[in-house]
Amino acid sequence: MNNFDKIIIIDFGSQYTQLISRKIREKSVFAIIKPSEVSLEEIKLEKPKGIIFSGGPKSVYDEDAPKVNAEILKLNIPVLGICYGFQLISHLLGGKVERAEKREYGFARLRLIRRENIFKNLPVEFNVWMSHSDKIVELPSNFKILARTDNTEHSAAISYDGKLIGVQFHPEVTNTEFGNEIIHNFLFEVCKCEPNWVPKKFIESKVEEIKEKVGNRKVACALSGGVDSTVAAVLVKEAVKDNLICIHVDTGLMRKNESKKVLKLFSENLNLNVYFVDARDKFLAKLKGIENPELKRKIIGELFIRIFEDEVRKFGNVEFLVQGTLYPDIVESGSFSKNTSVIKTHHNVGGIPEDHNFTIIEPLRDLFKDEVRKIGKELNIPEDFVKRHPFPGPGLAVRIIGEVTEDRLNLLREADYIFIEELEKHNLYDSVWQAFAVLLPIRSVGVMGDERSYGYTIVLRAVSSIDGMTADWAKLDFDFLKVVSNRIINEIKGVNRVVYDVTSKPPATIEWE
């Protein structure tokens, strides 16, 4: 994607790395995150206008501390080091980093020594957000101080040529005053970026990239009916036209009436020729007796790709497979970097077996969900569809805790349908990022019609978020929740208890499995 200016963010394990990316993209500059082990050649190939070293939990003198090729600092490309990133720059260039006698967490008062570079046109003093237990006690010989706090003399510094800048605080968090202005100055004053990262440019760039990669060969796409795979398919069709083969596999793990709805949308609104495969019995048979969530994901991914391969063979030699993988999928699957933990395997990432016969095309893998929605609108996908809540690749299988059975699927489908229907009735659907029901594998005693009942528990989950990387539980009105609970218990035989999940991400994930 070299049609627009970009910033490379090198990740050292910071909890704020994705936030840095978002702050940059909000200014219409493309930001791409790379692991600390990124090669010098790869950086040169990307042709960035600037580089950011993220923060991180380690100390530069730890044996297992993430490092980076020091030659990056000699590329004549502006580099901004944040917290650990600043300490690493200093360490690599001969400065001295030590454990601080007094750690600095939370607010600190920053005093500018020089109002230049990233601090251009900013006040002499303002509050910043600190989070560090090490500090730079000696700058590299070719650096000068830009700012200090009472506790940290070298709170910001810059090389004499103005190309290497470091800050000990976090400009990307909202707690730092003028953080947006600092990032703005780095992008436009220091790196001389043009704000040309817009949906139309992204689509044009991706279409050309896919044309070059695919040529006149055939491409297959598994259309689940979710926003991600649909946007990916419509985007790829722009590049390959009639060489796109779309297949919808009904796994039996879909929402109520899902396959019927999405097939109608694909044929009537999006002009996609979709082939339908009913594989419900196969998936249920494979999942019989399986309770472990990771094993469920692996089984679904394995079976899905085998069925998909069988169907694709009917169309001759098809070399490419389109997937709607997004950036959060990569991060949570632990396939981004050696510094990244596996949170859960995503259907589009680790759930697919390695021995498949396709070259994977993932046109959306560097994007967050809200960016995908913007791309979808630009591609003229109906807005009510683009705004649909995320739905996991393994479907309802990861919303049933424990074994997946037909009876449990039917209970969950009905509960989920009622919840979403009431959200739409009360004009609340668009106010939450994602909402769904979860079926617990436990039963509890209740009283229904003066008789003892022994039914399942349904959990309602609704969250507010921007990109799915973090989320807060949605503060839905109690009267609304009462309506949903009453409908579920009255209309679904076998359910006698409804609870609401009030856990944020982190510590929880949005989905339960």
Strands 451-464 and 244-250: unpaired
> Could you tell me which of 59, 147, 164 has the C-alpha nearest to residue 103?
59
Tokens (6 digits) for 505: 């991400």
| Rounded CA separation 84/90 (Å) | 10
- DSSP secondary structure string for all residues of 106-137: EEEEEEES---GGGTT--SEEEEEEEEEEEEE
**In 453-507, which ranges are continuous DSSP H helix?**
478-491
End-to-end CA distance of the chain: 34
Query: Distance of alpha carbon 25 from its chain centroid, rounded?
Result: 14
| Rounded CA separation 337/36 (Å) | 8
Question: What residues contact residue 25 under an 8 Å CB cut-off, 6+ apart?
Answer: 31, 197, 368, 371
The shares of helix, strand and coil residues in the chain, as percent rounded to the nearest 5, are 35, 25, 40
Strands 451-464 and 434-448: antiparallel
> Could you tell me which of 436, 442, 393, 389 has the C-alpha nearest to residue 413?
436
Tokens (6 digits) for 478: 């109690």
Distances in Å between the alpha carbon of 335 and those of 35, 39, 180, 328, 330?
10, 17, 30, 11, 6
Does the CA dihedral 418-421-423-426 come out positive or negative? negative
Catalytic, 319? Answer no
**Catalytic residue from among 170, 248, 347, 389:** 170
DSSP 345: -
Catalytic, 347? Answer no
| Rounded CA separation 391/326 (Å) | 13
Catalytic, 248? Answer no
Does the CA dihedral 417-423-425-431 come out positive or negative? negative
Tokens (6 digits) for 79: 């580099």
| Rounded CA separation 498/485 (Å) | 6
| Rounded CA separation 165/158 (Å) | 4
**Catalytic residue from among 104, 154, 172, 371:** 172
**Cis bond leading into 441, ω under 30°?**
no
Classified as helix, coil or strand, 158 is: strand
Enzyme catalytic residues: 83, 170, 172
